[in-house]
Amino acid sequence: MSKIGLFYGSSGGNTEDVATALKSELEKQGAEVELHDIATDDYTMMKDFDRLILATSTWNEGDLQDDWHSVYDDLADMDFNGKTVAFVGLGDQDNYGDHFANGMGLLSKPFMSNGARIVGRWPTEGYEFEASEAVDGDQFVGLALDVDNQLELNDERMQRWSEQVTREFGLK
């Protein structure tokens, strides 16, 4: 299936807003996107998509968002061979800089371990944080956004990342 499945978990609404905005940006790039809230939609529908974007926030002291946390063990048992996956993570680098966007890093682990091809890596330049589970080398495993402290940068970042990810998905 050439359609992208964009799955998100959102406790306070910010990740849902970002997912909706990303859907719009990706559609401007010519992609067909199906949006799914992990709290209400069956997460096993991921198997129906060859291309996935997974969005999460980070909660408490670097934890995965609750909706993703509730299915995490099941994700660890799924086979993601043949899937191309990109990640989006929200965090607060000023107040939680010692685990900025950790949720994205945690969420990526079962996909990396179970055969997914990961795309959409994003540079750490322009962010100020001490540590993050979402960093691999000198890049985030996906698009990191800070709606609390860098809201003015998010639209441009989402636009650039959408262009990048549609190329990496082979849609352009």
Local structure of residue 120 (DSSP, 8 states): -
The pLDDT score that the predictor gives to residue 172 is 75
3-state secondary structure of 88: strand
Residue type for position 127: Y
pTM over 0.85: yes
> What does the block give as tokens for 83?
């899937």
Question: Would you give per-residue pLDDT tens digits along the chain (172 residues)?
Answer: 479 999 999 998 999 999 999 999 999 999 999 999 999 988 889 999 999 999 999 998 888 899 998 999 999 999 999 999 999 999 999 999 999 999 999 999 999 999 999 999 999 999 999 999 999 999 999 999 999 999 999 999 999 999 999 999 998 7
The pLDDT score that the predictor gives to residue 63 is 87
Other CB atoms within a 10 A radius of the CB of residue 119 amount to 19
The pLDDT score that the predictor gives to residue 86 is 98
The pLDDT score that the predictor gives to residue 68 is 94
Domains and CATH numbers, the chain: 4-168 (3.40.50.360)
- Determine the Cα–Cα distance for residues 132 and 98; give it in Å rounded to an integer: 7
The pLDDT score that the predictor gives to residue 10 is 93
3-state secondary structure of 33: strand
The pLDDT score that the predictor gives to residue 48 is 92
